[in-house]
Amino acid sequence: MQVNKYLDFLNGLQPKIAAQIAKKVLALNVKPLPADSEQLSGYQGLYRVDSGEYRIIYRYFHDRDLIEVILVGKRNDDVYKRLKRLLD
């Protein structure tokens, strides 16, 4: 997810929710594979973690100890369909 798109997304949310998601993303920078993360089947190197009603899908580059946020969306939305469209 490009930084500008990510910031635009956060700015469109209620401040409390935006802060919650931003905090979770910052925590991923410190600990990229927290206990509540799950690797996505069918997508090598992609993981998901929940933040309240939202799901954060990210790529973890083990060799560089780096994360890249791919997609953030409501858990009840078609997050995985959006991911498939994004990566295809």
Q: What whole-number distance in Å separates Cα of residue 41 and Cα of residue 22?
A: 25
- 3-87: CATH topology is YaeB-like fold (3.30.2310)
Q: Where are the domains of the chain?
A: 3-87
Q: What whole-number distance in Å separates Cα of residue 5 and Cα of residue 35?
A: 27
Q: What's the token pair of residue 72? A: 């953030």
Alpha-carbon Rg of the chain, whole angstroms? 12
Walk along the chain (88 residues) and give the pLDDT tens digit of each residue.
Answer: 556 676 777 778 888 988 999 999 999 999 999 999 999 998 889 999 999 999 999 999 989 989 999 989 888 778 888 888 888 7
pTM for the structure as a whole? 0.86
| Contact indicator for 34, 49 with CB cutoff of 8 Å | yes
